[in-house]
């Protein structure tokens, strides 16, 4: 059902500082930090040949990643995002398999402007998984 | 310098159980659990179109991931592995940039039979990064 690993999202306290690791030490193309106030994050896109890393830094007092980062002050994996062809069909299949979808289960528009759902990490070996309609 | 994301390694308490999520709920091809006693893990390979997830479960009392899993009993990201063309040159470039390599700095043969080094998570926004000579 799922397709490509769309991105690996890493929560960091300072996206500009973390981007220097990827740009200067690891030699990868990175974007400038981009503010996404409606999602409560700054994001830096790290472009790899086969996928992308997104370095996300809290933006604003109500950022959804602020508490997470408080628990992981150096930074940590926030979620993995996989592509699906039909988000509603994917959600239905998962729920039939007993995998819980966070929230009300209705897809929302994610940071890429596409419908997404998030799966309960308790059903996913501790990993927060995002599904995005590609 | 770095190339493809070779794999995402997720430490799990039960690789067979975690593989059911990927196989049955997410619909992905997974391998049977493979014992790698010299690395102290069982591993399940989850094949995605553009990269691979490796579900790693401790094998034996001295497994290098046992302590990590004790701190993350549900499971958690263990490391990200990026490919490089020349492991020694990559190590030298990283050390010049101030990024510390774990251990003595000499590449070792990793679970895929290729030379690898691991970078200090304190220099990598909290993420354990493996570099593998592709």
B8, pLDDT greater than 90: yes
A130, pLDDT greater than 90: yes
Nearest residue of B to residue A131 by CA position? B26
Cβ distance of B99 and A25 shorter than 8 Å: yes
pLDDT band per the 50, 70, 90 thresholds, residue B61: confident
Amino acid B50: pLDDT? 98
Amino acid A10: pLDDT? 98
- Interface membership of A61 toward B (CB under 8 Å): no
Residue A103: phi and psi, rounded to 5, are: 70, -150
Does the predicted interface ipTM exceed a cut of 0.90? yes
What percent of chain A lies above the pLDDT cut of 70?
100
Amino acid A61: pLDDT? 83
The residues in A 100-119 lying below 8 A from B, measured between CB atoms, are none
Query: Which residue's structure tokens are 């679970």?
Result: B111
Instruction: Please choose, from the candidates A64, A54, A79, the residue with its C-alpha nearest in 3D space to the C-alpha of residue A131.
Output: A79
**Structure token pair of residue B128:** 């354990």
Amino acid A119: pLDDT? 97
- Rounded distance between C-alpha atoms, residue A127 and residue A4, angstroms: 17
pLDDT (tens digit per residue) in A70-114? 999 999 999 999 999 999 999 999 999 999 999 999 999 999 999
Residue B96 is part of which domain span?
2-133
Q: Return the SS3 of B31.
A: coil
- CATH code for position A103: 3.10.180.10
Bridge partner list, A58: A41
What's the number of domains chain B is made of?
Answer: 1
- Which of A13, A49, A127, A131 to probe the B interface (max B CBs under 10 A)? A127
pLDDT band per the 50, 70, 90 thresholds, residue A16: very high
- Rounded distance between C-alpha atoms, residue A100 and residue B19, angstroms: 17
pLDDT band per the 50, 70, 90 thresholds, residue A19: very high
């Amino acid at each position: 059902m799922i397709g490509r690993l769309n991105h690996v999202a890493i929560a960091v306290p300072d996206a500009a500082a973390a981007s220097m690791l990827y740009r200067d030490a690891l030699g990868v193309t990175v974007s400038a930090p981009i503010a996404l106030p409606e999602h409560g994050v700054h994001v830096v896109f790290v472009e790899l040949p086969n996928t992308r890393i997104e370095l996300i830094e809290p933006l604003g007092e109500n950022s959804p990643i602020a508490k997470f980062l408080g628990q992981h002050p150096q930074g940590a994996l926030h979620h993995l995002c996989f592509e699906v062809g039909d988000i509603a069909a994917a959600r239905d299949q998962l729920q039939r398999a007993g995998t819980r979808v966070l929230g009300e289960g209705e897809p929302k528009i994610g940071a890429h402007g596409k419908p997404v759902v998030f799966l309960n990490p308790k059903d996913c070996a501790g990993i927060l998984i995002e599904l995005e309609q590609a």
